[in-house]
Amino acid sequence: MQEIGHWINGKMVAGKSGRFAEVYNPATGELQARVALATADELAHAIAEAEKAQPAWAATNPQRRARVMMKLGDLINQHMDELAELVAREHGKTIPDAKGDVQRGLEVIEVCMGAPALLKGEYTDSAGPGIDLYSMRQPLGVVAAITPFNFPAMIPLWKMGPALSCGNAVILKPSERVPSTSLRLAQLAQEAGIPDGVLQVVNGDKEAVDGLIDNPTVQAIGFVGSTPIAQYIYGRAATNGKRAQCFGGAKNHMLIMPDADLDKAADALVGAGFGAAGERCMAISVAVPVGDETADRLIEKLVPRIEKLKVGPYTAGNDVDFGPVITRQAQERILGLIGSGVDQGAKIVVDGRGLKIQGYENGFYVGPTLFDNVTRDMDIYKQEIFGPVLSTVRAKTYEDALNLVIDNDYGNGTAIFTADGDTARDFASRVNVGMVGINFPIPVPLSYYTFGGWKKSAFGDLNQYGPDAFRFYTKTKTVTARWFSGIKEGAALNFKALD
């Protein structure tokens, strides 16, 4: 049985705790490895070594750090197939989807190649008599990233790229369900020129999470996961005086107006609802057709598309549309929620229960499931299912549909399909959600913008990647400088303006 350790000071090291988490192949249900869970002492050692290494990295000029990002981007491209295989083997994604996972992370690394432009300060000449005023952005020191299972490559790259580009040292704690991709990325980062100790990968569970939050050397925490844990980490980090950006769950709605192209809307819903087995925080899990006629026509178009979806192992290549969910527990939870939807009165139109894949009977599979006539009080509406389940909530009017989104506790992503520009503009203006798609089902912004939700989907003032990331991973220092060039002035006892 393979035992997976940690990446400390530029090399793989075995865990010392004697505690392990099990790493499964979701496609087969087989136990394929054990990953060590760090002790408090192991974590403290990794943080201390990162603290030693960080000043020299911070003193490296931004352009040289950007060149390291350029080399890392090249290496990720060269190893795309290998990284996708690692993602698929531990997560269960199809190979094309796994490559998309790596690619979206790589795009953030590409933005980091331009970090010097994003790290510039401001300068005002002659702000007062003989006085110059300027600001500079400086790294925080040691920062931590706690990343989820559903994007083993993308989110670690979203975190480490900007943090490293700013001159910080990074402690990365990936999900213990998918440890191998982060460890391989750390090896590639070393090959690209990241000094030993500047990027540490420490595997662990809640003990490691609490250790990162409570260690006074760690200046900032970045987290992606469930809302209860996001809120817990944000509150505890704030209590300890740390910066924190914590991203939680989602319940993403897509409105379908009567004037929408229903073929395009149906295609969008199938891709956004069932891709990656629904294990995306930006997945569309609620379809909201406006009017019964729109709903009936939409369901009619969705059913054959959903029934044609092929579910299977990543080894089947392009012959499958999506794979298993991450664990047996996740599979059982999703199946339980589907059962509750039936019990609570929703109409199950396509039933994904009981799916068995020949030769992979022990895999963690759930078939694509479509519900109609879902109401707000049902568990399948209130909870984030994080599986291949699409719920249809019928709305009588546009205002009813809009208020459904506004009233929801989550505010990660939303979309509207319509041919009317006024309706689209009104929706984008009024909806209280962080990322909005107009005739676009998964509105993940490109890497030179920024990613973040509202309400219970995010805690913290700054978002992931883009300009916000460079603000989050740096602190601003402002300098007021005076050079006496024949200026004669006595002592000033009052607090006066520079002019």
Task: Based on the residue annotation, tell me whether 281 is a catalytic residue of this protein.
Answer: yes
Residue 289's φ and ψ, nearest 5 degrees, are: -75, 140
Query: Which one is catalytic: 112, 166, 246, 281?
Result: 281
What is the distance, to the nearest Å, from the Cα of residue 382 to the centroid of all Cα atoms in its chain? 22
Q: Which two tokens stand for residue 345?
A: 């009165």
Sequence-distant (≥ 6) Cβ neighbours of residue 485 within 8 angstroms: 130
CA distance 345 to 333: 19
- Residue 263, exposed/middle/buried by CB under 10 A (0-12, 13-18, 19+)? exposed
Alpha carbons 263 and 355: distance in angstroms, whole number? 27
Residue with tokens 């460890």: 183
Find where tokens 């199809």 sit: 94
Q: How far is CA 32 from CA 24, 230, 277, 329, in A?
A: 5, 29, 21, 17
**Rounded to whole angstroms, how far apart are CA atoms 43 and 35?**
15
Q: Give the SS3 label for residue 431.
A: coil
Q: Which residue has the tokens 């790259």?
A: 157
**Contact present, 334 and 385 (Cβ < 8 Å):** yes
How many residues can be counted in the chain?
499
CA separation for the pair 402, 212 (Å, rounded): 40
Copy the structure tokens of residue 271. Answer: 């891709």
Q: Which residues contact 14 (CB under 8 A, 6 or more apart)?
A: 3, 5, 36
Q: Please check whether residue 412 is in contact with residue 281, taking contact to mean a CB–CB distance below 8 angstroms.
A: yes
d(CA 100, CA 96): 6
- Reference 418, options 254, 297, 261, 253; nearest CA is 261
DSSP symbol at 332: H
**How far is it, in rounded angstroms, from Cα 228 to Cα 429?**
29
**Which residues are known to be catalytic?**
281
